[in-house]
Structure 1
Amino acid sequence: MRDGTDHGDQMSDVKKGLLPGQLIWLWLTGVVIALDQITKHMVVARFDLYERLEVMPFFNLTLAYNPGAAFSFLADAGGWQRWFFTAIALGASVVILIWLARLTAAEKLQGVALALILGGALGNFYDRLVLGHVVDFLDFYWGNSHFPAFNIADTAITIGAGLILLDMFLGAGNGAEKKEARKKHD
């Protein structure tokens, strides 16, 4: 409590908030993790590294390993990035769990968004921790220009981030309502 923050209150928020109403968000997180890991295992079992299967004239399934972050950022950094990005994912997951616990019943869009981001973060966290890299396989392209390959976890994170932005714009005018709902929640 040196910084003036009562960490006991934060933990009670987590315990209190993740009861029946918020538990649904953890189910969505679990579904994202399961879909992410199942699809990755299917692709790894079926494809050799960089093998491609054209699904549509603009979309391939392609097995790629990414030891870096999005767009292969720091992929050639020498190995330390595995633990760096693993730690970031773990820290972000804890923050998201606390954020989820503090949501009110009225904050459904934010709950969906955070559950998607958490599921994606944990899906890629598992890959980094166990495999040392993230498995990517969705390859969209136009002509000879390919967007960097990605996976279900990346998709969930991106959709979740978009929903957070949408919620910010939609909810910009009802700050007083949110404060009142939060008082009732606490």
Structure 2
Amino acid sequence: MIKILNVLNKQNIICAIIIILLFGIDRLSKIKILNNFSENNSFYINDYLNIDLIWNTGIGFGLFNLNAGLIYHSVTIFIFLIILFILYLMVNSPNKEKLYYSTLVGGAFGNFYDRSTYFAVPDFIDLHINNFHWFTFNIADIFITIGVLLLIFNETLKKENDKK
């Protein structure tokens, strides 16, 4: 009983709200794109940014594109287990780190939802310089990247402080 109450503390509830908010922002962006763009129909915004809907069946940044089969479902289950592990880390972390984990999890849930619902993730942000195009990505990927970068930065600061 006490363990359950520890999980339901104010900081974890705030983290749950952040996760839901980021998941919602990601869903709204994808709904807007899916309702207004067809696959491989690029919309020019400026010399560095296009909106270009593609369906990613792989993992981050289109790596390891997989068809919906045993391997795809195995990878999806593995991703879900990783999300659960990150949630465990979040619940058991100091307050500042909880926020970083929630940012990561909010994005991860967004992409996991798409993998489970559409068997692919809609990516649509196409950054480029001239003919060099970065991997197409989505809002959830931005949240995941921000969360990971904050965690790395935090660990780096911890190590610097430990040296002093």
- Check whether the contact 1:32–1:119 (CA below 8 A) recurs between aligned residues: yes
- Check whether the contact 1:65–1:134 (CA below 8 A) recurs between aligned residues: yes
**Cross-structure match for 2:7:** 17
| Candidates 24, 28, 32, aligned match of 1:38 | 28
| Candidates 80, 84, 93, aligned match of 1:90 | 80
1:29-86 deviations in Å (ceiling 9; x for gaps): 1111001111011101101101111112100011110011123222145633431332
Supply the AA of the counterpart residue of 1:126.
Answer: Y
Q: Does 1:118 align with 2:105?
A: yes
| Candidates 129, 140, 151, aligned match of 1:142 | 129
| Candidates 147, 157, 160, aligned match of 1:160 | 147
Q: Provide the rounded CA distance (Å) in 2 between the counterparts of 1:49 and 1:64.
A: 5
Q: CA RMSD in A?
A: 2.0
| Candidates 101, 111, 114, aligned match of 1:127 | 114
Deviation at 1:174, TM superposition (A): 5.2
Q: Provide the rounded CA distance (Å) in 2 between the counterparts of 1:45 and 1:26.
A: 28
Rg larger for: 1
- Give the alignment's TM-score, normalised by structure 1: 0.79
**Cross-structure match for 2:50:** 60
Equivalent position SS for 2:146? helix
Q: Provide the rounded CA distance (Å) in 2 between the counterparts of 1:76 and 1:92.
A: 19
Q: 1:78 to 1:26 in 2, by over 3 A?
A: closer
Supply the AA of the counterpart residue of 1:147.
Answer: W
- Give the alignment's TM-score, normalised by structure 2: 0.89
Equivalent position SS for 1:54? strand
- Check whether the contact 2:66–2:72 (CA below 8 A) recurs between aligned residues: no
Q: How high is the sequence identity, in percent, across the aligned residues?
A: 26
Structure 2 stretches lacking a partner, 5+ long: none
